[in-house]
Chain A
Amino acid sequence: MTARGEASRFETLPYGVGRLTGGWALLVVALLALVGWGAYAYSCQFVEGKVVTGMRNIGTMGGATWGLYIAFNVYFAGVACAGITVAALIRLLNLNALRAVARMAELLTVITLILGAFSVLADLGQPLRALINLPLYARPQSPFFGTFTLAIAGFLFDSLVYLYLAGRRDAYLMARYDTPLRPLYRAWAAGYRDTPAERERHRKTTFWLAIAIIPLFITAHSTLGLVFGLQVGRPGWYSALQTPAFVVLAGVSGVGLLLVIAAILRGYLREEQRLGTGVFRWLGAFLLVLTLAYLYFVVVKVLTGFYAGHHHEQQLTQLLLWGAYAPVFWGSVLLLALPAGLLLLQAITGRWNIPALVACGVMVNLAAIGKRYLIVVPSQTHMSLLPYGPGFYAPTWVEYSIIVGLFALGALLYALFVKVFPIMDVPEEGVR
């Protein structure tokens, strides 16, 4: 077969699978470079110790011992929860309008869970020991165990299963074409036959899996919230509101990121039809509701902290409103309020504008990152119950590089997947 023949064969596959464009290659190279840089930064940290980061001990050292890595761990876990939830909701509630983004969402979950796992590993002082000692000695009573093991491992596993099972039918459809990727599709399809009975079984399995995954996601992200919410020793963390707020912000960031991804793919794959305004309208509506809900949490928290006599809560609130962390706080609030306003405007006028939606998606994610940072850091640098005095935390190039590397890794995995497997459901008729 000639190269042209191969190329022409890939031409027949839907959604650009197998077609490696120059732009795509350039993107992959750039992402690889960033990932490589992140890996280098991590190696520095591994060899020198965490002294290369900006983290330092709470207390006499006046630092924060959990910094960007944990903040982004929470962020990634949050995005992950949103992804699979959207996918599950689609299957559960039969939201055909959103069916196009189902796999995108599932993939988002899987990838961000991996990123979340890596960010925790990057944070550990003895990561190799962790890989051995966690399986050997893990204590269920520790919320950390809950998040790291339950959420990441269990949740990741279940999401993979879900992605796999939900994709079997499409794999089967893809296997009909004679391409070098056929063995992969056959393996994925694993004996799926496109009979009505099979299709029914497929639909039922994914339906029940979706039902199962919802409580799992709530538990997983709740334990992440409990990591913070149960700590009596950290004013600002110790709060019953912590966990529900976590869950809602997870939804905000996840849906926002999904919006961005959907818009990118819409443009890249030129799928204006399948990824039409209907899809974006739904996502936009979701985002609006979730953002408003989260802003409600923010207001309640600020009011409580401000009004309440409790010394530490007041101190923390002042710190956020006009203290050292005011820029990040107000920045994040603005990056939530502005999108909320934009989305409200679109909802009222009924005219949904995709670039505006993308902007909203980006903004709420930046806000989510800011808020995760604000949850993790100020309670350490400023809210010690013993009067050590205020501290500071300034991330270093190592931390930034690793985070950027993680984002690059996520984007890289996404880009690779898009070229290997259809990112949306393959329509019955096969070739587009």
Chain B
Amino acid sequence: MAKYAMVIDLERCVGCRACMEACKVENDTPQAVFWMYVFRFEEGRYPNTRVWFLPRPCMHCDNAPCVKVCPVGARYKRPDGLVATDWERCIGCRYCEVACPYGVNYFNWKAPEKNYYLDWKDRDLGPVTHGATPPYKNPDLEKPYGPERRRIAGGGHLKGVIEKCTFCVHRVEKGQTTACAQACPVFAIQFGDLEDPNSTVSRLLKKRPHFRLLEEAGTQPRVFYLGGHPPGGEVRQIEGVKARV
């Protein structure tokens, strides 16, 4: 059984947010929704300032608070480690969102068709996109996945339902890596199987010191960070993306 994990090299990350955009296009997330987010941090006082960056996907925790609190089991943990959201079952109570220490959950406050940046029903686009909203809508997202055959890929942009990073389950099941890892210009994001000792993630974790975010919360994340340090009380967020619906 695969044991998926993500390894992010903070000594490489340039904070460009290509991963955020790649995730948005691959998973068709609406406005103001960032399944992958990148913090840009500043610490210290001039001239002893420090600048660094921290990508933040969903942690896919082994001891996920969100899985524990979901009243209907729409949020569940797969054997391969992915924490999935069944968007057909979600009742929109947002308990997972308040339970998550990392703030990775996004609730669909309005019908996504009204929340995709521009009017894609433009007449002249019709012949090409057939009204697809967004026009780059990914056909893989609506299908069921996993041996459990549940709809857990990014198709769940329904009004009143929660969504979050899926570790691109629809790509992983095809043998591809996540969209964020694919796009990262400096190969700072790696995704793979910890059960395979020769996978990049296994080798990186063996070779280099690493940490996980909010280790003290006991959530056992599956996202590891190489180099750098966890954000302490002194970090200030700069250039934050504050988009709201």
- Quick check: do A and B touch in the complex, using CB within 8 A? yes
A5 within 8 A of B: no
Q: Contacts A133-B91, A233-B65 known; A126 to B161 CB distance under 8 Å?
A: yes
Q: Within the assembled complex, what's the spacing in Å between the Cα atoms of A389 and B103?
A: 12
B77 within 8 A of A: no
Q: Is the CB of B161 within 8 A of A139?
A: no
Residues of A within 8 A of B104 (CB): 59
Q: Is the CB of A124 within 8 A of B73?
A: no
Q: Contacts A385-B102, A386-B102 known; A139 to B70 CB distance under 8 Å?
A: yes
* In the complex, per-residue mask of A381-404: 1 if CB is within 8 Å of any chain B CB, else 0: 000111111000000000000000
Offer 5 A-B interface pairs, CB within 8 angstroms, sorted by A: A57-B97, A65-B98, A126-B91, A127-B91, A144-B95
Sample of 15 further A-B pairs with CB below 8 A, known A65-B94, A142-B68: A49-B108, A50-B110, A57-B106, A58-B100, A59-B37, A66-B94, A139-B72, A143-B69, A144-B70, A232-B101, A234-B99, A386-B39, A387-B237, A389-B240, A389-B242
Residues of B within 8 A of A129 (CB): 89-92
- For chain A, the bracket of interface size reads 35 or more
From residue B53, how far is it (CB to closest CB) to chain A in Å? Answer: 13
A308 within 8 A of B: no
B→A interface (CB under 8 Å): 32, 34, 37, 39, 41, 56, 65, 68-74, 89-95, 97-111, 158-162, 213-214, 217-219, 231, 233, 235-237, 240-245
A→B interface (CB under 8 Å): 48-51, 55-63, 65-66, 120, 123-127, 129-130, 133-134, 136-139, 141-145, 148-149, 227, 231-234, 311, 380, 384-389
Q: Is the CB of B237 within 8 A of A233?
A: no
Q: Is the CB of A232 within 8 A of B217?
A: yes
From residue B67, how far is it (CB to closest CB) to chain A in Å? Answer: 9
Which chain B residue lies CB-closest to A376? Answer: B98
Residues of B within 8 A of A120 (CB): 93
Residues of B within 8 A of A388 (CB): 103, 237, 240
B93, B104, B217, B235: most-surrounded residue (chain A CB, <10 A): B93
From residue B241, how far is it (CB to closest CB) to chain A in Å? Answer: 6
Q: Is the CB of B231 within 8 A of A386?
A: yes
Residues of B within 8 A of A51 (CB): 109-110, 245
Residues of B within 8 A of A139 (CB): 70-73
From residue A271, how far is it (CB to closest CB) to chain B in Å? Answer: 43
